Structure 1
Amino acid sequence: MISLREVRDSDLNIFWEHLSDPAAQHVAAVTRKYHYDRGHFDDHWARIRARPDVLMRTVLADEEVVGHVAVYGPPDEREVTYWIDRAHWGRGTATAALAALIELAGTRPLYAHAAADNTGSIRVLEKCGFVVTGQGRGFAQARDGEIDEVLLTLS
């Protein structure tokens, strides 16, 4: 069973393990400094957990911490993000977690970005009602170069 709960301090070490997985970073493609450096990770999480405009939740699979989901950004540009432990890919975990977050957020439109070749993430977003509404290119630190990206929108 997939459920969401408030983020706890004890979740952060598990999140660090998930976010610093090189194989998962490559698939996600667009990574930040906090994916590679524990000090940046701790600073990033302290900042976002203190922001009232960020809706952040821990994802649980049968009470095991398996990832996190969030909605962030200004009211007219709210964006979703999620990260699920690679051991739980392909099980419907991300789809169930994102669907629960969307219901919890209750706002529209919502946006998402994904690497164009990240078919798993795009499929999760589409299952939750997002549609591809744009394309572009951006720098992907995990791949050390520019990649094609897609913008998805949930109206």
Structure 2
Amino acid sequence: MAEVALRPVDDSDLDALFEQMRDPESVRMAAFTAENPDDRPAFDAHMAKIRTSPDVTTRAVTVDGRLAGSIASFVVDGDTEVTYWIDRSFWGQGIASQALALLLESVHVRPLFARAASDNARSLKVLRRAGFATVGTAISFANGRNKEIEETILRLDKPAKTTPSDAPSGESQTY
């Protein structure tokens, strides 16, 4: 089985993360993305801001040492949320589930929240397996689809007992 690990995002990761976050299929699935995924200056400014913010924990997700995506926790309106983005070439391998389990080991804030497009079944499955429960829905504008869609809001009150080998996933979210 592949070894999934988290580490701080390095400057050398930025080109690959930018490319991952502009993949059209990934953008459509994630839905709640940057206004213009092709805007590199906006991406760089966003990454510089979140990498230095005390309210954000951002980590590179690696598989056998190879960059596979990113995962983060951040505070919005007083609530701590999690988000992840896994490169499409790694979908269906359980990488997001393993990365989320690792993040939950280091982020001890509870409750913890997450949001996903309501039709992103694989991402919702990853979150639910990690112990998140649906607490509501909202209609929000999704840049990745250029329209309002339903998003599912989830909450984690305490860590679930999961193993890194839990179900494969093909999910992505962005921050």
**TM-score normalized with structure 1 length:** 0.96
Q: Deviations over 1:2-45 (max 9, x none)?
A: 00011110011110011010110000111123623101000100
The equivalent residue for 2:37 is 35
The equivalent residue for 1:112 is 114
Residues 141 and 125 of structure 1: is their aligned pair in 2 closer, same or farther, counting only changes over 3 Å? Answer: same
Tell me if structure 2 keeps the 8 A contact 1:131–1:153.
yes
Report the more deviating stretch, 9-18 or 71-80: 71-80
Q: Deviations over 1:100-149 (max 9, x none)?
A: 00111112110001000000110110111101110111111111111111
The equivalent residue for 2:28 is 26
Tell me if structure 2 keeps the 8 A contact 1:59–1:69.
yes
55, 61, 64: which one pairs with 1:62? Answer: 64
The equivalent residue for 1:152 is 154
Q: CA RMSD in A?
A: 1.2
Residues 57 and 48 of structure 1: is their aligned pair in 2 closer, same or farther, counting only changes over 3 Å? Answer: same
Residues 74 and 136 of structure 1: is their aligned pair in 2 closer, same or farther, counting only changes over 3 Å? Answer: closer
SS at match of 1:60: strand
The structure whose residues are more often helix, as a share, is 1
Tell me if structure 1 keeps the 8 A contact 2:35–2:144.
no
Unmatched tracts of structure 2, length 5 or more: 158-175
Unmatched tracts of structure 1, length 5 or more: none
Residues 149 and 74 of structure 1: is their aligned pair in 2 closer, same or farther, counting only changes over 3 Å? Answer: closer
2-structure distance, mates of 1:106, 1:41? 28
1-structure distance, mates of 2:12, 2:90? 20
1-structure distance, mates of 2:42, 2:35? 6
2-structure distance, mates of 1:139, 1:75? 18
**TM-score normalized with structure 2 length:** 0.85
The equivalent residue for 1:143 is 145
